[in-house]
């Protein structure tokens, strides 16, 4: 990937832009689901939340996750970072975050059928997962403590 070295900073800019879109969606989706499960099944409000959840997932969260991975892996290859322990730790956390993303996508499908985890308090607690992941991931990549 040495051909991409002159574009390293542009790749990093692209990576951070899609990280922001992805994380914005990861903060919004559990909150949407918290509001959604407090509405009556079959109500107009509940149907409106279903449409919002599907749109957010399809237009922002899914494409942003894919592009974050594409730019991130390209950066790792271009910068020859793959042997670094901080990257291994970061990748572990990002894989867990991607798993949480998959869980949210599954819940959006279930909420579409009026099923799923219908507890607002639990969704507000789950909302903290992306916050803690972001703090740890940014410290790992900026400080590179090991
Ligand atoms: C999807 C898998 C990911 C991979 C493979 C990846 C990999 C990388 C690599 C190799 C760099 C360049 C480091 C440097 O030049 O010093 C980078 C930069 C960065 N990444 Fe990721 N990353 C991923 C996901 C994420 C996520 C989820 C976040 C935030 C929640 C994130 C936040 C950042 C930030 C803020 C930078 C800029 C750091 C700086 O300029 O000092 N990345 N990433």
* Three-class DSSP category at 36: helix
- Whether the CB of 16 sits within 6 Å of ligand 1: yes
pLDDT tens per residue, range 24-48:
999 999 999 999 999 999 999 999 9
Token pair recorded at residue 72: 């991130």
Q: Are residues 140 and 89 in contact, defined by beta-carbon separation less than 8 angstroms?
A: yes
Say if ligand 1 is within 6 A of residue 75 CB. yes
pLDDT score, position 34? 97
**Per-residue DSSP letters for 50-70?**
HHHHHHIIIIIIHHHHHHHHH
| pLDDT band with cut points at 50, 70 and 90 for residue 2 | confident
- Tens of pLDDT, residues 67-118: 999 999 999 999 999 999 999 999 999 999 999 999 999 999 999 999 999 9
pTM, entire model = 0.96
Cα of 72 vs centre of ligand 1, distance in Å, is 6
């Amino acid at each position: 990937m040495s051909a991409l070295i002159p574009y390293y900073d542009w790749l990093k800019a692209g990576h951070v832009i899609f990280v922001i879109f992805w994380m914005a969606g990861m903060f919004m989706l559990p909150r949407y689901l918290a509001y959604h499960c407090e509405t009556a099944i079959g109500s107009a409000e509940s149907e409106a939340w279903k449409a919002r959840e599907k749109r957010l997932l399809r237009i922002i969260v899914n494409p942003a996750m894919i592009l974050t991975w594409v730019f991130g892996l390209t950066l790792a290859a271009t910068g020859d970072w793959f042997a670094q322990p901080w990257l291994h730790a970061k990748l572990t956390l990002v894989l867990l975050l991607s798993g949480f993303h998959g869980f949210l996508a599954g819940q959006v499908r279930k909420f579409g059928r009026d099923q799923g985890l219908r507890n607002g308090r639990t969704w507000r607690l789950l909302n903290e997962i992306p916050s803690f992941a972001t703090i740890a991931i940014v410290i790992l990549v900026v400080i590179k403590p090991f």
